[in-house]
Structure 1
Amino acid sequence: MKETILYLIRHSESTYNQRKVYYGRIDCPLSEFGVRQSQLLKGKLKKVKFDQVISSPLKRCLHTATIITGLREQEILTVDGFKELDFGLWEGLNFEEIAANYPDNWEDWKRDWKRATPINGENFMEMYNRVTKALTNILQKYQGRKILLVSHKGCLQIIASYLLIQNENLFWNFDFKQGKYSVFEIIDNFCVLKKINC
């Protein structure tokens, strides 16, 4: 059976990365440095021909994907399942502000980060289920193809853990860097990590 080759890219630096806050669903643009990161990645991947390009619909991912591939936004498949965690009322706040404004909620999250839910947001296991469902659909639809997926750090950590051990337990073992790409090869549900943060 022919292998599916999955290139994973975390979106380049955004304007909110510079603020050091939680911003899962805030639809912010790339920073100037983020644009340069994407342009450098375009040079590194210029010889790779992708059969399908997929992105989170948020601006920072979609812009990263358009720069790297040269495609128009309309030519890129956007999938809601690959959005970052919805931090609800925590959006735009740093951890000190969250602890001060929502102390009980913050303590709940520190005790059980997988199942505690930021107020008006979603919890990790809800995100895990939506990301893995979206991934399964993509891998079935584009089996045997070369796929580029641009998403968010949390989503990519889930994808990597799921591909390698079929659960979330490797989530914290991955640290996807901005301006880098990683490659996974999947053959008949068996996955090999070929490159990371290149």
Structure 2
Amino acid sequence: MTARALVLLRHGQTDYNHAMRMQGQIDIPLNDTGRQQAERAAEVLGGADLTRIVSSDLSRALETAQILGRAAGLDVTTDEGFRERGFGLWEGHTHEELQAGWPEQYDHWRAGRDPEGIGVESRAGAGERVGLALRAVAEAADDGEIVAVVAHGAAITLGIAHILDMGAHSYWLGGMGNCHWSVVAQNPGREPAWRLGVHNIGVDLVPRPHRTILDRASETKDHGDQQVTGGSGRPTQADQTGVPGR
């Protein structure tokens, strides 16, 4: 048995996010903006036929998941496999502090390599950890279920890369906004077994340099099916969430 789709939701904003500090596995709670973001995301995803919600055990993800759970009428379970990538000695520091304190390692990190000697979890290791947790959650679900996983930005993108067999150093996915989500769905009879439906869409509460698919959708009079750009780059039919109908 395998879930039909996984909705991968990043947690809402924290004070560390706002200050551009490296968060990693430090347990930082949501701030008020993050809670508002989670409420808005829950308004949308709460009507997306979710059947289960699994969360990272870090409080910023768990509170986001609980807000979604109230909207969807679902309990939340936790799995530490969905924790953020660990950043060792860098956690709690700004990018400026990283560049000043660890210039060589910082340059390696910005170039896409794993910095050494400071306890940073490798991209491949984090991707495998999250990818295996995603597969386990999917396989524990009944056929046709749609499961929400609430986690963290790097964890989600690396987990997606793992289950799509993209390799740990694939960067074309890009990052995740707070309370934005991606959707992966079964790819029956093909390899890899999963495909990317949409990536990094959501309802923004704070100004951002770009508009999301939901921003554009909200400007139309017709709130039915929207054109969403899928992982192939081609428009695909989906509702405003990007979650496939059951």
Q: Normalising to structure 2: TM-score of the pair?
A: 0.70
Between the two structures, name the one with larger relative contact order (CA 8 Å, sep ≥ 6).
1
Q: What is the CA–CA distance in structure 2 between the aligned matches of 1:195 and 1:121, rounded to whole Å?
A: 29
**1:122-176 CA distances to partner (integer Å, 9 max, x unpaired)?**
2222212211221222222225221000111111112322333453353442332
AA of the residue aligned to 1:138? V
AA of the residue aligned to 1:55? S
Q: What is the CA–CA distance in structure 2 between the aligned matches of 1:173 and 1:187, rounded to whole Å?
A: 19
AA of the residue aligned to 1:141? A
AA of the residue aligned to 1:194? G
Give the match's secondary structure for 2:106: helix
Displacement of 1:2: 7.4
The structure having more radius of gyration, on CA atoms, is 2
Q: What is the CA–CA distance in structure 2 between the aligned matches of 1:63 and 1:180, rounded to whole Å?
A: 15
Give the match's secondary structure for 2:54: strand
In the alignment, which residue of structure 2 is the partner of 1:134?
A: 133
Q: Normalising to structure 1: TM-score of the pair?
A: 0.85
In the alignment, which residue of structure 1 is the partner of 2:198?
A: 195
Q: Which has the higher helix share?
A: 1
In the alignment, which residue of structure 2 is the partner of 1:88?
A: 88
Within-5 A mapping of 1:14-53: 14-53=14-53
Displacement of 1:23: 1.0
Q: What is the CA–CA distance in structure 2 between the aligned matches of 1:81 and 1:5, rounded to whole Å?
A: 19
Answering whether residue 190 of structure 2 is matched by residue 186 of structure 1, we say no
Within-5 A mapping of 1:49-198: 49-70=49-70, 75-110=75-110, 113=113, 115-117=114-116, 119-144=118-143, 145-188=145-188, 190-196=193-199, 197-198=201-202
Q: Which consecutive residues of structure 2, in runs of 5 or more, have no partner in the other structure?
A: 203-246
After superposition, the CA RMSD in angstroms is 2.5
Say how many residue pairs are matched: 195
Displacement of 1:46: 2.7
**1:95-128 CA distances to partner (integer Å, 9 max, x unpaired)?**
2211222234334434552x33361332222212
The answer on whether the counterparts of 2:15 and 2:30 sit within 8 Å (CA) in structure 1 is yes
